Amino acid sequence: MVEPETFEFLTDLAVNNRKAWVDTHREERDDALRNFTGIATTLHDYADRFDPYVADAVNKPKQSYTKFFQDPRERTGPGLYRTTIDVFANAGHPTEDFGYYLHIEPRNCYAGAALFQPSKAALARVRNRLHDDPTGLNDVLADRDFKSTFADGLVTRKALNVVPEGFEENDPAAPYLKMVGLGCRKDIPDEQLLDDEVIDQLIEIFRAATPLVRYFD
């Protein structure tokens, strides 16, 4: 699944996050890109085991993972390049629709389902869904497989201090309305991701996350 050299490249990139260094390590970068493309293809090939909608979607592996270079308008951290990569398995688009993902970061890998970096329109749809059907979300969070797989419930990469404009603080979904993108995650040791057999574990994680994806469909 994840090649050892990919972990090595991401580790080195975190220390040498400069264009000059990347330019002299293009072969390692290109090898990592091929690895991500292969992972995206594998997730799609096995999608019929966790989500038929993803299995039926057009497979675009080279568009199914975050890119190294960071657009200045969306940059996180001081570096030009991302040192973590998300590989997606979506029936739609990773910034527009909920889907499954594998987060690859040395010593901090995990998988689940999410819409962590939604477009403005997608974020509005998510918030309206949460407001309109908080009971449906509670049913997802109470699902036995979901609870046992995702001990932290819903997580986010960014949270507001107050509910967004147009919603009330006493809204039943208030804690989730404050999330600017949300999802679920389960940690996976790097060593397990080196083994191709980890696909079976990923399938089980994705199956447990399917009710969350369906809720936001």
The count of domains in the chain is: 1
pTM value is: 0.93
Reduced to 3 states (helix: H, G, I; strand: E, B; else coil), residue 79 is coil
What's the rounded Cα separation, in Å, for the pair 142 and 109?
A: 25
Is the CB of residue 79 less than 8 Å from the CB of residue 70?
A: yes
Instruction: Transcribe 157-208 into DSSP letters.
Output: S-B-SSPPTTS-TT-TTHHHHTBSSEEEEEE--HHHHTSTTHHHHHHHHHHH
pLDDT digits (tens, 9 = 90+) for 43-102: 999 999 999 999 999 988 989 999 887 665 555 666 788 899 999 999 998 889 999 999
193 has a pLDDT exceeding 90: yes
Assigned token pair, 175: 């804690």
Q: From CA 188, how far away is CA 172, in angstroms rounded? A: 32
CA 191 to chain centre: 20
Closest CA to 212 of 129, 131, 132, 119: 129
Place of tokens 């995650």: 185
Strand order across the 85-89 sheet: 85-89, 99-104, 110-115, 182-187
Please give the mean pLDDT across all residues of the chain. 94
Q: Is the pLDDT of residue 1 over 70?
A: yes
| Model pLDDT for residues 201-211, shown as the tens digit of each residue | 999 999 999 99
Domain that holds residue 160: 4-216
